[in-house]
Amino acid sequence: MNIIPQPSTLATQVVDAIRSVVGSDSAVLHEPRFNGNEWKYLKECLDSTFVSSVGKFVGRFESDLADYTRVNHVVAVVNGTSALHIALQLAGVKTDDEVLIPAMTFVATANAVRYCGATPHFVDSEERTLGVDPQALREYLQDVTETRKGQCFNKTTGRVIRAIVPMHTFGHPVDIDGVLAVAQDFHLVLVEDAAESLGSTYQGSHMGTFGLVGALSFNGNKVITTGGGGAIITNDSVLAKHAKHLTTTAKVPHRWDYVHDRTGYNYRLPNINAALGCAQLELLPSFLEEKRRLYECYQKAFAKISQLLIFSEPKDCRSNYWLQTLMLDDFSADQKDAILAATNDAGLQTRPVWMLMHHLDPYLDCPKMELPVAESLSQRLINLPSSVHMEIEGVR
């Protein structure tokens, strides 16, 4: 006879705590909210017949996003992965280069590196930010690299390590000062994977604006959405112009002729998606307020469960709290799967952190440092239902 395992006491406590916050018997991980000018702008877009990559909403979305992030230039593209792909090209990443990225990231970070013909080089994270650990990375690079003619070389592979790509995990800013210092000392270009961090800041400056170039995402599960969509952000006017050229199939402007001066990409954001984005961006401040209230409610609900905590924004940062994150202590890590099973069985959609990049088949042979913190975190993190429109008990 098959014996059905019963949820652990801790798993039952987690289910009860989530339900006390979301105020319903079921909740998805994250879904968009449309309660502004979305229908109005979409109808205007349809009435204009300009639904593809030409139309007024593309320019407006780029301008509004530049104002919000306080960056000089924004180039809107079809998704966050394409934004990061072009950002890496702008940073000079070439075939046979290596790029430092966290082992604990979404696969798109590694994929974008491979699109450039380069090799991901995986680095460890730190528990206080969930992002790249600059001190551990510095010590590692001192051992495994050497500088030749102003470039950082991997002494084992002989390849140039061209860039470093910190990713702001679940919207929480990485130790950007530490990463910037490592980039400067080891002659690396800093490209920010800010796909999850729209609305997150460090000392008042928006994430994605600290490096040479940054990449944002507006997928359907992000804080705001354009359906699909992403953006390249930079303060460098030359790079911005080049990004727009590359993402528009590298077409040379002409009244009628088709001249393309290099291999380009059909990556520009369609006008109809940008229309949705303009309306969503208007709602962003209220979305961020609701996400912060949700975090506070989760923190209160889980306060009496000693084996875990709700992850809080790092010092001097203001996080967007894109995905609310439960962190188990070391002694309760073996309860992760039981909690995931119990919550999902109860209709409460939870998810673990992504499988670490060096465990994925396409990236098994990539160089990496020792990854003790990333390995530990991967066994202890659980994302909770985080939609902005949930009926939060005690708030509404």
User: Residues 324, 310: contact at Cβ < 8 Å?
Assistant: yes
Q: Are residues 116 and 169 in the same domain?
A: yes
Task: Tell me the per-residue pLDDT of 112-121, one tens digit each, with 9 for 90 and over.
Answer: 999 999 999 9
Q: Are residues 271 and 326 in the same domain?
A: no
Domain count, the chain: 2
Task: Tell me the per-residue pLDDT of 155-205, one tens digit each, with 9 for 90 and over.
Answer: 999 999 999 999 999 999 999 999 999 999 999 999 999 999 999 999 999
Domain of 13, in residue numbers: 9-33+283-383
| 2 pLDDT higher than 80 | no
Q: What does the angle CA 268 – CA 272 – CA 274 come to, to the nearest 5 degrees?
A: 60
Look at residue 100 and give its three-state secondary structure.
strand
Instruction: Give 396's pLDDT tier (boundaries 50, 70, 90).
Output: very low
User: Residues 102, 123: contact at Cβ < 8 Å?
Assistant: yes
| Residue 323 belongs to domain with CATH number | 3.90.1150.10
User: Residues 276, 218: contact at Cβ < 8 Å?
Assistant: no
Q: Are residues 82 and 155 in the same domain?
A: yes
Q: Are residues 140 and 106 in the same domain?
A: yes
What pTM was estimated for this model as a whole?
0.94
pLDDT averaged over the chain?
95
Q: Are residues 270 and 305 in the same domain?
A: no
Task: Tell me the per-residue pLDDT of 135-162, one tens digit each, with 9 for 90 and over.
Answer: 999 999 999 999 999 999 999 999 999 9
**Could you tell me if residue 188 is inside a domain?**
yes
Instruction: Give 394's pLDDT tier (boundaries 50, 70, 90).
Output: very low
Contacts of 26 (CB under 8 A, 6+ apart): 346, 347, 348
Q: CB-hemisphere CA count at 13 Å for 285? A: 3
Instruction: Give 3's pLDDT tier (boundaries 50, 70, 90).
Output: low
**Could you tell me if residue 391 is inside a domain?**
no
